[in-house]
Structure 1
Amino acid sequence: MTTDTTAQGTAPDATAPGTTVLDARGVTMRFGGLTAVRGVDLTVGSGEIVGLIGPNGAGKTTFFNCLTGLYVPTEGEVRYKGAVLPPKSFKVTAAGIARTFQNIRLFANMTVLENVLVGRHTRTKEGFWSAVLRGPGFHKAEAASRTRAMELLDFVGLADKADHLARNLPYGEQRKLEIARALASEPGLLLLDEPTAGMNPQETRATEELVFAIRDMGIAILVIEHDMRFIFNLCDRVAVLVQGEKLIEGDSATVQGDERVIAAYLGEPFEGDPGAEEAAEVAQAEAHAAGTRAETATTKDTGTATDTATDTATGSTGATGDDATPGKENHR
Structure 2
Amino acid sequence: MTTPTTIGTAGTVLEAAGVTMRFGGLTAVRGVDLTVRSGEIVGLIGPNGAGKTTFFNCLTGLYVPTEGTVSYRGTRLSRKPHLVTKAGIARTFQNIRLFANMTVLENTLVGHHTRTKEGLWSALLRGPGFRKAERSSEERALELLEFTGLAAKRDHLARNLPYGEQRKLEIARALASDPGLLLLDEPTAGMNPQETRATQDLVLAIRDQGTAVLVIEHDMRFIFNLCDRVAVLVQGEKLVEGTSEVVQADERVIAAYLGTPFEDAPGAAEAAEVRAAEEARGGAAPGPEDSPPDAASGPAAPEGGAR
Same fold (TM over 0.5): yes
Between 1:281-290 and 1:169-178, the stretch displaced more is 281-290
Q: What does residue 129 of structure 1 align with? A: 121
Between 1:16-25 and 1:39-48, the stretch displaced more is 16-25
- What is the CA RMSD across the aligned residues, in angstroms? 1.5
| 1:181-260 correspondence runs (5 A) | 181-260=173-252
Q: Shift in Å at residue 102 of structure 1?
A: 0.4
- Give aligned pairs, total: 279
In structure 2, stretches of 5+ residues that fail to align are: 284-307
Q: What does residue 46 of structure 2 align with? A: 54
- Any conservation in 1 of the 2:8–2:37 contact (CA below 8 Å)? no
Are 2:132 and 1:140 aligned? yes
- Any conservation in 2 of the 1:113–1:163 contact (CA below 8 Å)? yes
Paired with 1:26 and 1:64, the residues of 2 have a C-alpha distance of 14
Q: What does residue 89 of structure 1 align with? A: 81
Paired with 2:120 and 2:280, the residues of 1 have a C-alpha distance of 70
In structure 1, stretches of 5+ residues that fail to align are: 1-9, 292-332
TM-score by length of 1: 0.82
Paired with 1:128 and 1:286, the residues of 2 have a C-alpha distance of 63
Which structure is larger by alpha-carbon Rg, 1 or 2? 1
Are 2:2 and 1:23 aligned? no
TM-score by length of 2: 0.89
> Could you say what secondary structure the match of 2:32 adopts?
strand
| 1:145-156 correspondence runs (5 A) | 145-156=137-148
Q: What does residue 162 of structure 1 align with? A: 154
> Could you say what secondary structure the match of 2:183 adopts?
strand
Q: Shift in Å at residue 18 of structure 1?
A: 4.7
| 1:94-133 correspondence runs (5 A) | 94-133=86-125
Q: What does residue 280 of structure 1 align with? A: 272
1:60-79 CA distance string (max 9 Å, x none): 00000000000000000000
Are 2:171 and 1:179 aligned? yes
1:118-170 CA distance string (max 9 Å, x none): 00110001001000111011000000000010000000001011000000000
Q: Shift in Å at residue 272 of structure 1?
A: 1.1
Q: Which amino acid is the alignment partner of residue 105 of structure 2?
A: L
Among all aligned residue pairs of Structure 1 and Structure 2, give the percentage whose two residues are the same amino acid.
80
1:261-282 CA distance string (max 9 Å, x none): 0111011111111111111112
Paired with 1:200 and 1:286, the residues of 2 have a C-alpha distance of 41
Paired with 1:134 and 1:279, the residues of 2 have a C-alpha distance of 63
